[in-house]
Amino acid sequence: MKAINEHFYGAMKGYEAEKLIAAKLLERGFTRHNSLFANSACPDEINHDDPEDDLTLLFFRRWGEIIPLSCLAGLPFVGKSGCKTMFEHVPKHGNIIILFAPHVGIDNDGNVGTIKRNFQSAKTPACGAAIGSLRALQKDETSGDFKNGHFD
């Protein structure tokens, strides 16, 4: 908890954030019947292992159907076809709730960026995809350049 407060001051538990978000959306007329939940959270198992505190599971419980949008690091990665499908699932005159949720692990020693996963003997990166991208950019800041429709 110390590392969370030190590096992510003001962070909330998932259930606290979900209650605040839901209250605001409900005030604005969002309901389970007129809203579609689109999830763009990293598929890492540590984001979906606590039904009482994981935002994706709490949103699903409240809003119902999930349209998945994400790939590693939580980046939306469905393209035009996926967006078209999402729009086709929205209730008429309804709403879309998009949860964009990148993540980072914090191990028991307070190290940000690693976590000891269940049934593994060593700590591993979390989010591995985001950390891998950061390391590539630190090594060569042009490695993420996008030119003429392809990566160099």
> For 34-83, what is each residue's pLDDT tens digit?
999 999 998 888 888 899 999 999 999 999 988 999 888 888 888 899 89
Spans of all domains in the chain = 2-103
- Bridge partners, 147 (sequence order): 150
Q: How confident is the model at residue 152 (pLDDT cuts 50, 70, 90)?
A: very low
The dihedral formed by the CA atoms of 128, 129, 134 and 140, expressed in degrees to the nearest 10:
120
Residue positions counted in the chain = 152
Write the CB contacts of 52 (distance below 8 Å, at least 6 apart in sequence): 15
Best CA proximity match to 70, nearest among 105, 102, 112 = 102
Element (H, E) at 57: helix 55-63
pTM strictly above 0.75? yes
Interatomic CA distance for residues 3 and 110, integer angstroms: 5
